[in-house]
Structure 1
Amino acid sequence: MKLRLGLRSYLLLLNGVSIAVILVSVSVTYRYMLLSWNEYVLITCITVGAGFVSLLVHALLTRPLARWIRVLAGETQRVASGDFNTDVPRIGPLEFQRLAAQFNQMSGTLRELFDRLHASEEARSELIANVSHDLRTPMASIQSFVEALQDDVIQDRETFDRYLQTIRLETRRLNGLIDDLFELSRLDAGALELRQQPAAVDSLIVEVLQSYYLHLSEKQIEVDVRLPEDLGPVWIDAFEIKRALGNLLQNAIRFSPASGAIVIEARECADAYVELSVTDQGPGIAEPYQDRVFERFYRTDPSRGREGGGGAGLGLAIVKSIVQRHGGEVGVQSREGKGSRFWLTVPQTRMF
């Protein structure tokens, strides 16, 4: 039969056994010291009393330790059940206080990990739902138009051409979404090698503006470029940063009113970085949503997604991934009804 004892009982048992061994040894020693019987009994009683007092003191001193062990056991049970909001009091001996501090640190780390895991799971579920929506909607539109054309429902040439144009646009939208998803997966996997070289900021902005010249002309948007005269080159992968700037400019064009204005600005920052920003005159972003606009598939107004040309919500996520690979940062400053200013930073010197 296996004997199960608690820590306090185990310590008391050990103390009792040691005292018993001492008493027997002392008693035998006293017996051979040529003491009278009365002296022998008196000294033995004193020794036994001292041993009893020692056992009592030991029992009193181990009570706080046993209580602390019960507290720790209760907290570990809460952690085992999934509750990480625990805080063990730092009481008792120094070693126990250190153990409590380490336990609280472990509990806090686990809480952060599970919070991130929970947020990641929610983001994954939202990602799947948004991908499904953004794929299903154009596919349904294409299917309905193709069926209408196959069934000879459309007789006049003008409507027929308009249906074909819609199918072409939806197909292009699908291709863009798939390309963005593929781009993000490659960025996350680190499959894209950065080819960083010195690049002039003014040439970079000019090339981006040339790519979006037709979009700017269609909405008659003026662009104001502001560059310091003494701004030096930046150390970047020009193709990647042009992609990031292009995404910011595309968003600015999409949400700017017709005949509006967009400001593209560059300025030197501390720690050998350059900040590039794109400011529009759009509807702005409410403060509660500004921390999430760089998340994948996130839209401040889901109802304004495809219908308003809001895209799939991957452009800003790609911008963030590209800039982080360069060691920079991204951000947004916005007020509702006052437009938005998106910015990113890139290094002026070789960072890696």
Structure 2
Amino acid sequence: MKKIFNPFTYVRKIRELIRKVIKSVKRSIRIQLITAFTACALLGLFFAKGAAPFFENANRQATIDYRSGMRDIHQQAQSVANSSVHENKLEAISDMIEMENQNLERGSRALKVLVTDESGKVVYKTKQAQEEQIDLHNTIRNAASFAINYSNGQDEFENTRKEFIAFAPITIEDKNLYMFVSGIPGGEVRYHTQEGPFPFLIGVLVFIFSFFYITKRKMKQIEAMAQGVKEIEKGNLAYRIEKKGEDEIASLTENINNMAEELMNNIEKERKLEKQKNELITNVSHDLRTPLTSVMGYLRLLRDSEYENKEQHDEYTRIAFAKSEQLKNLIEDLFEYTKLTNEQVILEKQEVCINELLEQLIEELVPQAEEHGLTFVKKFPEERAYAAVDSEKMVRVFDNLLMNAIKYSKDDGEIKVSLQRQRRDIQIVIANHSEEFTREELGSLFERFYKKDQSRSRVTEGSGLGLAIAKSIVELQGGSIRAEYEDGIIQFIVSLPIIEK
């Protein structure tokens, strides 16, 4: 079937081509400069050509052209010679001589006519001719030279007023004669116009100003970028350069802004790390001093035998050992947290069934929960949920969360542990009844060395690093952890990337 011509298809293709060209121009500073240069050059050429007519009179030159007069003399001589030869009579020559004599008498421009025989003797002439004998050879040569130069159109006949000699051989009644017609040719004034420098200068000026105007915006952008770099160099990392367009300059602007952002973030991170380091030193000094002071105090009592009986001796020993254990746990937690925050931990990820992991941990902690009258309530799906995690590290996370639930939950209550499969992750929720948490306390739970107000909590021991360590472990494995409090129930929500089976 013959395809019907559809003009809209070609219009659509042309529009698409124009859009692609415009897009290419916008993205390339090189094409923009070439386009601007070409447009400005064409504009300058247009103005130069348009201004040329206005300067024609300024460059107008007048010249006198004698070639037309020479042509008249030559044609007149040839015409008379041809007529004489054709008629085989001297009548045409005689008429010409008589006419020129009359012109001479009237004072008009008259031609000098000489007719010679083969020896150069003048047999016919006009009144103004004085010659009786001429050098026939030289005269013919000069006349022929005039004719050759004239026929070649040489410019020596312009602006040159000199006598012109026309030569024509004649054969009449078997006699060879030579006719020479000479005279001063009439001149014709001609005007010539030449392109002066002004149109060219106008074209150059138009090109310069138009190119300056077209590139002005781009130059301002480059100047703004240079100013922005100076500001960033001074330390003003919050300064941002305005991005305009889609070309290489815009890309460079974006890269400079990204560099400033990255530098600012790195400096802020270093400041934060420095602040955290100072806080860490302060907190460690404080938390180490307390149990260490107790240990030294009880050891001093034992050294100085300041106890009343064996029971008191054993009590002092037990307390000193317990404080030493607390000190040991604090140092281990601190060491673990330092490794995690400095990313010095190598994770040994493997496929782990989170259901089974939680089941095992809960089973191990049931006796401790029962001591406080607490019961674990599990809500797990029948389908197994798998995640790629370091099982040893995740055991520490869930063990910390479950132990905190036991320690800080109100007695004779429930600890709810639920697991839910979501689209891209596994969500584990550990919830228990707890004392009230303010918004500020809830936001500080995962900070280092954070401990709930001792006056409002029944538990005073602990390093204050457990939740901070748990948060670092979860985030290192691509997950997240957060805490929520509502109506006397606090819940910790852990999300881990799921593995589809």
Q: TM-score, normalised by structure 1?
A: 0.72
Deviations 1:67-88 (A, max 9, x none): 4444323321221233222222
Deviates more, 1:312-321 or 1:212-221: 212-221
Aligned pair in 2 of structure 1 residues 61, 324: CA closer, same or farther (>3 Å)? closer
Which residue, 203, 212, 219 being the options, matches 2:365? 212
1:27-176 matches, within 5 Å, as 43-57=196-210, 64-65=217-218, 67-91=220-244, 94-176=247-329
The residue number in structure 2 matching 1:251 is 404
Query: Which secondary structure state, in structure 2, belongs to the residue aligned with residue 204 of structure 1?
Result: helix
Contact 2:238 2:260 in 1 (8 A): yes
Contact 2:400 2:466 in 1 (8 A): yes
Task: Say whether 1:329 aligns with 2:480.
Answer: yes
Deviations 1:132-164 (A, max 9, x none): 222222112211221222223332444433322
The residue number in structure 2 matching 1:30 is none
The residue number in structure 1 matching 2:66 is none
Contact 1:268 1:274 in 2 (8 A): yes
Which residue, 462, 465, 479 being the options, matches 1:314? 465
The one-letter code matched in structure 2 to 1:250 is: M
Take 2:240 and 2:336, find their aligned partners in 1: how far apart are those partners?
A: 44
Take 2:204 and 2:222, find their aligned partners in 1: how far apart are those partners?
A: 26
Query: Which secondary structure state, in structure 2, belongs to the residue aligned with residue 48 of structure 1?
Result: helix
The residue number in structure 2 matching 1:344 is 494
Which residue, 256, 259, 262 being the options, matches 2:415? 262
Query: Which secondary structure state, in structure 1, belongs to the residue aligned with residue 196 of structure 2?
Result: helix
Task: Say whether 1:279 aligns with 2:431.
Answer: yes
Aligned pair in 2 of structure 1 residues 304, 186: CA closer, same or farther (>3 Å)? farther
Aligned pair in 2 of structure 1 residues 114, 292: CA closer, same or farther (>3 Å)? farther
Task: Say whether 1:189 aligns with 2:344.
Answer: yes
Deviates more, 1:246-255 or 1:104-113: 104-113
Deviates more, 1:233-242 or 1:262-271: 233-242
Higher strand share: 2
Query: Which secondary structure state, in structure 2, belongs to the residue aligned with residue 343 of structure 1?
Result: strand
The one-letter code matched in structure 1 to 2:372 is: K
Aligned pair in 2 of structure 1 residues 289, 64: CA closer, same or farther (>3 Å)? farther
Aligned pair in 2 of structure 1 residues 206, 66: CA closer, same or farther (>3 Å)? closer
Structure 2 gap segments, 5+ residues each: 1-36, 38-58, 63-191
Aligned pair in 2 of structure 1 residues 67, 166: CA closer, same or farther (>3 Å)? same
Aligned pair in 2 of structure 1 residues 292, 81: CA closer, same or farther (>3 Å)? farther
Q: TM-score, normalised by structure 2?
A: 0.53
Aligned pair in 2 of structure 1 residues 107, 148: CA closer, same or farther (>3 Å)? same
Contact 2:408 2:458 in 1 (8 A): no
Deviations 1:165-215 (A, max 9, x none): 221111111121222234345553233533x355472x5334323443453
Which residue, 386, 395, 404 being the options, matches 1:242? 395
- How many residue pairs end up in the alignment? 313
The residue number in structure 1 matching 2:104 is none
| TM-superposed deviation, 1:239 | 3.7
| TM-superposed deviation, 1:278 | 1.3
| TM-superposed deviation, 1:255 | 1.6
Contact 1:299 1:305 in 2 (8 A): no
Take 1:306 and 1:138, find their aligned partners in 2: how far apart are those partners?
A: 19
Contact 1:254 1:309 in 2 (8 A): no
Aligned pair in 2 of structure 1 residues 176, 350: CA closer, same or farther (>3 Å)? farther
Contact 1:65 1:92 in 2 (8 A): no
Supply the RMSD in Å over aligned alpha carbons. Answer: 3.7
Take 2:456 and 2:326, find their aligned partners in 1: how far apart are those partners?
A: 12
Aligned pair in 2 of structure 1 residues 212, 321: CA closer, same or farther (>3 Å)? same
| TM-superposed deviation, 1:299 | 1.5
The one-letter code matched in structure 2 to 1:277 is: V
Take 1:66 and 1:199, find their aligned partners in 2: how far apart are those partners?
A: 62
Take 1:165 and 1:340, find their aligned partners in 2: how far apart are those partners?
A: 34
Take 1:300 and 1:182, find their aligned partners in 2: how far apart are those partners?
A: 19
The one-letter code matched in structure 1 to 2:430 is: V
Mark the structure with the bigger radius of gyration: 2
Query: Which secondary structure state, in structure 2, belongs to the residue aligned with residue 246 of structure 1?
Result: helix
| TM-superposed deviation, 1:237 | 4.8
Structure 1 gap segments, 5+ residues each: 1-14, 16-33
Percent pairwise identity: 23
Aligned pair in 2 of structure 1 residues 310, 350: CA closer, same or farther (>3 Å)? farther
Aligned pair in 2 of structure 1 residues 74, 285: CA closer, same or farther (>3 Å)? farther
